[in-house]
Structure 1
Amino acid sequence: MRDNLTQFANEIGISFELEVVNFDSLDQSSYSLPIFRANDNETVAVNFPIWSTSNQPAALPNLLRFVKQLSPKIMVSLDRGCDRSDLPFPQHILQALQSYINLLESLDAVNVTSDAVNKIERFLLQPKIESTVLGRLRAPEKMPLWKTLFASAGFTPVPFSNFTETQAECVVKRTPARGFHVEKRQESLVLCWQRRELISASAWRC
């Protein structure tokens, strides 16, 4: 990811640095600012995958306050549809499993090797499923939907431009496999396979 973003920034003439923050390493009682701060001539953009809090769903409000302290120009959030702590425990787990099933079946459509699929199952899906179950056991009570928590923390959704939507469609068309497409749903762009949602992206400002 770092290399791809750096290359893209170089192509359009933008100075770019990527700082990866492990939420689990932060002080969860205060979520004090990390060691990096933006200079006056710099702009902060945050990539916030919703699943990054799957093992600590109750920490999401504090994490959003932490992000807000960074004064980001934009925050992009990614959602795979599996982090539904707003649902009762059984439905939450079933929703997570279904999202992972959709992912695996979509991989079959692009002829991913069995070795690659095994690695994805072992190093991505298995840890994520374990994280989802453990996180819900730590916080069994239902929580508001993450979008509601974003709004409560002072973040406002920003619609994607037509240019951004066109870019997303062009990237998907480069995939030789059929069945993949991009849908615009309210303020989100959703990557689907055979009409099943794989991942969605939304942009937010504070």
Structure 2
Amino acid sequence: MRDNLTQFANEIGLSFELDVINFDSLEQNCYSLPFFRTNENEAVVVNFPIWCSSNQPSALPSLLRFIKQLSPKIVVSLDQGCDRSDLPFPQHILHAFQSHVNLLESLDAVNATTDAVNKIERFLLQPRIESTVLGRLRAPEKMPNWKTIFASVGFYPVTFSNFTETQAECVVKRTPARGFHVEKRQALLVLCWQRRELMSASAWRC
């Protein structure tokens, strides 16, 4: 990923640097930014998958305040539909399970190899399912929807441009399998397969 982004930045004449932060390695309520220093000629962009806080749902407000300290130009959030801590525990787990089923069935549609599917199950789906269940056990009470938490911390949604939507559609059309498409739902871009939601992306500013 780093190489692809760096190459793209070079092609359009931008200097680029990627920093990856493992939130699990940080102490909750003690987030700080000792290693981030930007100047007026730099722009910070944050990619924040919602599921990165599923292990500790109650930490989401602190994580967002941590991100806000960066003064990012834009925050792109990815949601697989699993993190529904605003639902009662049984519905939350069933919702997460169905989301993973949809993903696995979409992999069958693209004729993914058995080895690839096994790796996705082992290194992606199993850890996420465990994280979702353990996180909900740590915080059994319902919480506000993650979008509500974003707003409460001071972020507001930004609508994707028509160009961004067109680019997303072009990428999906390159997929040889049928059934995949992109839907625009208010400020969201949603990747669907057979009308089932696989992933949604949203952009935020503060």
Superposition TM-score tier, normalisation by shorter sequence: over 0.9
Q: State the match for 1:126 in structure 2.
A: 126
CA RMSD of aligned residues (A): 0.8
What is the 5 A alignment of 1:65-144? 65-144=65-144
Q: Could you say what secondary structure the match of 2:192 adopts?
A: strand
**What is the Cα deviation at residue 13 of structure 1?**
1.2
Q: Could you say what secondary structure the match of 1:7 adopts?
A: helix
Q: Which runs of 5+ in 1 are unaligned?
A: none
Equivalent-residue separation in structure 2 for 1:97 and 1:126 (angstroms): 11
Q: Could you say what secondary structure the match of 1:112 adopts?
A: coil
**What is the Cα deviation at residue 3 of structure 1?**
1.6
Q: State the match for 2:154 in structure 1.
A: 154
The one-letter code sitting in structure 1 at the alignment partner of 2:143 is M
Equivalent-residue separation in structure 2 for 1:74 and 1:51 (angstroms): 19
Aligned residue-pair number: 206
Q: Could you say what secondary structure the match of 1:18 adopts?
A: coil
Q: Does 2:182 align with 1:182?
A: yes
Q: State the match for 2:192 in structure 1.
A: 192
**What is the Cα deviation at residue 116 of structure 1?**
0.9
Equivalent-residue separation in structure 2 for 1:26 and 1:127 (angstroms): 19
Structure 1 stretches (4+) deviating beyond 6 angstroms? none
Q: Could you say what secondary structure the match of 2:85 adopts?
A: coil
**What is the Cα deviation at residue 184 of structure 1?**
0.1
Q: Deviation per CA, 1:78-128, whole angstroms, max 9, x where unpaired? A: 000001000000100001000000000000000001111111111111111
Q: State the match for 1:40 in structure 2.
A: 40
Equivalent-residue separation in structure 2 for 1:196 and 1:159 (angstroms): 22
Query: Mean alpha-carbon deviation: is it higher for 21-30 or for 57-66?
Result: 21-30
Q: Could you say what secondary structure the match of 1:151 adopts?
A: helix
Q: Which runs of 5+ in 2 are unaligned?
A: none
Query: Mean alpha-carbon deviation: is it higher for 20-29 or for 172-181?
Result: 20-29
TM-score (norm 1): 0.98
Equivalent-residue separation in structure 2 for 1:97 and 1:5 (angstroms): 32
Identical-residue share of aligned pairs (%) = 84
Q: Does 2:17 align with 1:20?
A: no
**What is the Cα deviation at residue 170 of structure 1?**
0.3
The one-letter code sitting in structure 2 at the alignment partner of 1:33 is L
Q: Could you say what secondary structure the match of 1:127 adopts?
A: helix
**What is the Cα deviation at residue 27 of structure 1?**
2.2
Equivalent-residue separation in structure 2 for 1:110 and 1:96 (angstroms): 22
Equivalent-residue separation in structure 2 for 1:29 and 1:183 (angstroms): 37
**What is the Cα deviation at residue 32 of structure 1?**
1.3
